């Protein structure tokens, strides 16, 4: 009955999966180097410390006085310019920041994206197969099917 309609639906779903994977690889998983601001954000998320505390840690490690740190932090809040010692601190810790893997998992991990894409395809495609192919074959068997009134 509706068997010829299944092949175009499955091919459409496969094309949509390929387009989605191509777009996610191209847009979501960017292979560009991170900026110092992005490294500061990642370090903030990893350590669960504020930018102010990270500024003080960087200044303490690089030997800058406290009064200059507070002045530099105020300037950072005004125009988002990072002082030299914070950039050096982030450069020194870049390998450790990049190597850190959160325990919650990375949403944009390639394997997870492929798994969830295939799972969604299975769920949507399975429901289409049931609705368009299996259910019409079972419809005559079901009591009350084909317009029989109860």
* More confident position, 130 or 109: 130
pLDDT at 12: 87
Sorting pLDDT into bands at 50, 70 and 90, what band is 149?
Answer: very low
Q: Is the pLDDT of residue 8 over 90?
A: no
Question: What pTM does this model have?
Answer: 0.51
Q: What angle do CA 61, 64, 67 make, to 5 degrees?
A: 130
Residue 59 confidence (pLDDT) = 93
Chain-wide mean pLDDT for the chain? 81
Q: Tell me the mean pLDDT in the region 84-108.
A: 80
């Amino acid at each position: 009955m509706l068997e010829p309609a299944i092949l175009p639906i499955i091919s459409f779903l496969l094309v949509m999966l390929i387009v989605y994977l191509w777009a996610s690889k191209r847009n979501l998983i960017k292979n560009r180097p991170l900026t110092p601001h992005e490294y500061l954000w990642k370090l903030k998320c990893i350590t669960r410390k504020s930018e102010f505390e990270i500024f003080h840690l960087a200044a303490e490690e690089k030997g800058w006085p406290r009064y200059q740190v507070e002045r530099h932090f105020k300037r950072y809040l005004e125009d988002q310019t990072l002082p030299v010692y914070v950039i050096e601190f982030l450069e020194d810790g870049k390998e450790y920041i990049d190597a850190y893997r959160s325990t919650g998992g990375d949403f944009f991990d390639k394997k997870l994206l492929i798994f969830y894409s295939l799972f969604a395809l299975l769920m949507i495609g399975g429901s289409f197969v049931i609705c368009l192919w299996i259910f019409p074959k079972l419809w005559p068997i079901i009591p009350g099917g084909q317009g029989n009134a109860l």
